[in-house]
Amino acid sequence: MKISKSFKIYIHIIVLSLLSQNLIGAEDFSKNVIIHEKPLIISELKFKDSNLLDVDLSNKRGKIMIINFWATWCAPCRKEMFSLEKLNTKLPEVDIFAVNVEKPNNLKVDKFFKDIGVKNLKTYYDPELRLVKSFRLRGLPTSILINKEGKEFGKVIGEIDFASDEFIILLKKYI
């Protein structure tokens, strides 16, 4: 039985496609995590809680904090949000602030959290996008990593598994 040349080419294309998908799927989370050589000073860290009352973390010290910017329409946000809650359970010494960048709507956010099985994360808002602009965010999800001195020591751009061993090991270096 003789196989045509075009059939061989198609088989090669399919095999290469499958191999490249496996490689893409095996990427480690470090592509999304940026750790600064020298922590950056944060001049202001203000946003709103679910009751639209001011939350000011500008002078908060002593704990690692993660400020996670997200939206209900963001598919990668949907994927990573549950891992953020799992991190909250695994490392309660890290304060997590899930800041929604949409117009404040507790009903919409509560439904979003219920749909994805998130029960223990509190909702925060940045209704005027002041914080988004001050961190010069380019997309969602984005998380700002803040050290015990209140300085930005890193940034997570895009979706990651916050509850992964690799990320927890990274955070424990700063605890």
* Range 144-167 average pLDDT: 96
Q: What is the pLDDT of residue 91?
A: 96
pTM here is 0.83
With respect to residue 146, please indicate whether it lies within any of the assigned structural domains.
yes
CB atoms within 10 A of CB 155: 18
Residue 6 lies in a domain: no
Residue 97 inside a domain? The answer is yes
pLDDT confidence of 100, banded at 50, 70, 90? very high
Number of structural domains in the chain: 1
* Mean pLDDT, residues 62-82 taken together: 95
The predicted pLDDT at position 15 comes to 52
Identify the residue whose tokens are 């117009």. 103
pLDDT at 29: 63
Q: Note the pLDDT of residue 3.
A: 65
Supply the CATH number for residue 63's domain.
3.40.30.10
Instruction: Assess if residue 50 is contained within a domain.
Output: yes
Q: Is residue 39 part of a domain?
A: yes
User: Amino acid identity, residue 170?
Assistant: L
Whether residue 85 lies inside any domain: the answer is yes
**14 belongs to a structural domain:** no
The pLDDT tens digits for 6-25 are 655 656 565 555 444 444 43
Confidence of residue 175 (pLDDT cuts 50, 70, 90): confident
pLDDT, tens digit (0-9, with 9 covering 90-100), for 42-64:
989 999 999 999 999 999 999 99
> Which residue, among 123, 145, 108, 125, has the nearest Cα to 54 in the 3D structure?
125
Q: Which residues of 20-56 are buried (b: 16+ CB within 10 A; e: fewer)?
A: eeeeeeeeebeebbeeeeebeebeebebbeeeeeeee
Q: Which domain holds residue 104?
A: 29-172
Note the pLDDT of residue 17.
Answer: 53
Strands 152-157 and 142-146: antiparallel
Place of tokens 């946000």: 77
Q: Tokens representing 27?
A: 């990427």
- Residue 88 has a pLDDT of 93
What's the whole-number average pLDDT of the chain?
Answer: 88
E strands, the chain, where? 33-40, 46-49, 54-56, 64-70, 94-100, 123-125, 142-146, 152-157
Query: Is there a domain that residue 7 lies in?
Result: no
